[in-house]
Structure 1
Amino acid sequence: MNRKADEDAADIAAVREQFAFVARQGRDASVSEVLPEVLTMRLLAGESPVSVWREHRSMTLSALASEAGVSVAYLSEIETGKKSGSAAAMARLAQVLSVHVEQLATRVEG
């Protein structure tokens, strides 16, 4: 095949893979949820993943804190980047938000 045909075949394969990924959503707990574009853009702009996922789940700060067993003040510090959050706290937040803990990774302000 020529280069153009190879690129087209690769594009078609990528689209098919994405369709298969979306079809598995909800049936395979190991597959991450696809966020709406507006939320993805917020994450790319540097917003707190915990805050973005919390709002996506329509949860208040106090509701998430309560369900995850952390204080509102501590959760606020995590969302604002003042604290990174302990591994245990991040695992509980991820569980309540129904995401992988890696999806909540964020930078801490200096």
Structure 2
Amino acid sequence: MNNVAYVTTPGGEELAILPRSELDALRESLDHAQALGSFRAGQIPGLTPDEARALVAAVSPLAFWRRYRKLTQAVLSASVGVTQHYLSEIENGKRGGDVALWLRLARALEVPVEGLVDEGD
């Protein structure tokens, strides 16, 4: 954070200008802190090293968490009001879903919605 420049707007508001790389590093630190807070609050279960590797290797975080909760696609899809085929396509990245669906999935799987999507999505 050595390259921060400060400017004052005509209205008197002080703004900080920093390089994009430093902004990205701050965002990454915030994401990490929020995830750690969610873990400590019991919102995200702790994973064993094998489970963490399985999460990384899974076709999608949604697929991992469904398996982690020992749910079939048929059971999860019925609980959130979509077809099993549609859920399969979402898990495999072939289709998306609206925000309401992702919230229902997160509730059904007992994980924050942020835990169900890849960062690039």
For this structure pair, what is the TM-score category when the shorter chain's length is used for normalisation? 0.5 to 0.7
Q: Which moved more, 1:90-99 or 1:33-42?
A: 33-42
Q: What stretches of structure 2 of length at least 5 have no aligned partner?
A: 1-35
Aligned residues: 84
Of the three residues 113, 116, 119, the one matched with 1:101 is: 113
The answer to which structure has the higher helix fraction is: 1
The list of structure 1 runs, each at least 4 consecutive aligned residues, that deviate by more than 3 angstroms after superposition, is none
Counterpart amino acid of 2:77? A
The answer to which structure has the higher strand fraction is: 2
RMSD: 2.4
Task: Quickly say closer, same or farther: Cα 1:85–1:35, change in 2 above 3 A.
Answer: farther
Task: Quickly say closer, same or farther: Cα 1:47–1:37, change in 2 above 3 A.
Answer: farther
Aligned to 1:69: 81
Aligned to 1:14: none
Query: TM-score, normalised to structure 1's length?
Result: 0.65
Q: What stretches of structure 1 of length at least 5 have no aligned partner?
A: 1-17
CA distance in 2, matches of 1:100, 1:46: 18
Q: Which moved more, 1:59-68 or 1:31-40?
A: 31-40
